[in-house]
């Protein structure tokens, strides 16, 4: 599943500051809970869809933020090791972008 | 905020069976929590993005499901009251679709 | 390929006025041609991507417009024939929405 | 409008081979023309939407392809000039990705 060896997994340090990401994910979790509550209380469908669009945008904001951090850290670091290392990292990033644009 | 009077909010009954939706939202909430954990543990960025794409797809599946229920219930019920009522409901649905396609 | 018999294909009349749609598609065709020219002249990649985003938005605007017309005409007309006819039309619309949200 | 001075515009050479891109844009232009024809002939709305989804996917394929070429050429070349140059290129790429994910 993981694209890297598990031993390296906790040491990427590609995120300048993870606190804002954690806060955003906390808020997204709350949005998901709020939408479940709206469904349970049979709130008006269109109002629920509005909340779902907001959640989707929030999640995509986290994704593009992480991708930016990834390009600015992992890819640049790899570029210092050589073109092949950097190209491999960029290919991974491109695949992730494809999935984001599609999802 | 709400597009309908609050008093009517709990009586839409447009969802045939809300249990599967609640289960899906529960799972989405869990996905959000899992992504937060991955960020906190500084897992590999690309792996996190893969999980974010999965969450986005899951949320959009709920959205299109709700929209389908909305069209099949609210819009058809409104059609029985007359074209004006139905057109108003459809306009709301179209606006929601625009937001979904954009988000 | 077609979801309806070919003989009926020219008589849907679901569009109030097709002139604005034809103008928008003409403009989109021009946008596609402009992007090809930018690629041929090796313009700056980011500028090309900006134009591609504009084309995508324009195309999606046509899609949601057509969908709105479809719901307001085909679905409402079908609703007058009975629930089964309307439900079949709505199912088609939902499938199209799924494809749009995904694409 | 342009993110670079016009004089430099024709010398990027970031695309390994522009022929396949030009062929894809040619096909997309043809798809746009085909959709206009379907609207003019009032083909079934859902069939038109299917073609619009296909065009959208084709356009996004060009976008992610160009982005990949951009990262592999412009960003890597900039990385050799120094971190600041590379970071500026990546920021532009991130902004373009945001627009793509949103559109």
What does the domain layout of chain B look like in residue ranges?
17-102
Residue D36: predicted pLDDT = 97
What's the fold here for domain D17-102? Methane Monooxygenase Hydroxylase; Chain G, domain 1 (1.20.58)
Residue pairs between chains A and C whose CB atoms are closer than 8 Å: 3
CA atoms within 13 A on the CB side of A72: 20
- Three-state secondary structure string covering chain D: CCCCCHHHHHHCCCCCCCHHHHHHHHHHHHHHHHHHHHHHCCCCHHHHHHHHHHHHHHHHHHHHHHHHHHHHHHHHHHHHHCHHHHHHHHHHHHHHHHHHHHC
Contacts of C41 in chain D (CB under 8 A): 9-10
Q: Does the pLDDT of residue A19 top 70, yes or no? A: yes
C-alpha–C-alpha distance, residues D30 and A85, integer Å: 39
C-alpha–C-alpha distance, residues D57 and D63, integer Å: 10
Closest CA to C53 of D57, D63, A68: D63
C-alpha–C-alpha distance, residues C95 and D37, integer Å: 23
Q: Is C58 on the interface with B (CB under 8 A)?
A: no
Judging by beta carbons within 10 Å of its beta carbon (0-12, 13-18, 19+), is residue C59 exposed, middle or buried? buried
ipTM for this model:
0.84
Who's near B94: CB < 8 A, 6+ residues apart? C64, C67, C68, C71
Contacts of A102 in chain C (CB under 8 A): 102-103
Q: Kindly state the percentage of chain B with pLDDT values over 70.
A: 86
Task: Over range D16-36, report the average pLDDT.
Answer: 95
Q: What is the pLDDT of residues A40-66, one digit of tens each?
A: 999 999 999 999 999 999 999 999 999
Give just the sign of the alpha carbon dihedral A34, A39, A42, A47. Answer: positive
Are the beta carbons of D98 and A63 separated by less than 8 Å?
A: no
For chain C, how long is the longest CA-to-CA vector?
57
Residue D6: predicted pLDDT = 42
Q: Does the pLDDT of residue B103 top 90, yes or no? A: no
Residue D13: predicted pLDDT = 61
- Chain C residue closest to A98 (CA)? C103
Residue B8: in which H helix or E strand, if any? none
With beta carbons less than 8 A apart as the criterion, state whether B103 and A57 touch. Answer: yes
C-alpha–C-alpha distance, residues A62 and D90, integer Å: 17
Q: What is the pLDDT of residues B2-27, one digit of tens each?
A: 444 443 443 466 677 899 999 999 99
Residue B14: predicted pLDDT = 66
């Amino acid at each position: 599943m993981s694209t890297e060896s598990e031993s390296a997994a906790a040491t990427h340090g590609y995120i300048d500051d993870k606190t804002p990401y954690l806060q955003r994910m906390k808020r997204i979790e709350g949005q998901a809970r709020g939408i479940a509550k709206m469904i349970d209380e049979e709130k008006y469908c269109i109002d629920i869809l509005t909340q779902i669009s907001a959640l989707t945008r929030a999640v995509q904001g986290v994704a593009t933020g992480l991708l930016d951090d990834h390009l600015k850290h992992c890819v640049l670091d790899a570029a210092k090791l050589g073109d092949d290392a950097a190209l491999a990292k960029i290919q991974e990033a491109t695949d992730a972008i494809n999935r984001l644009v599609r999802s």
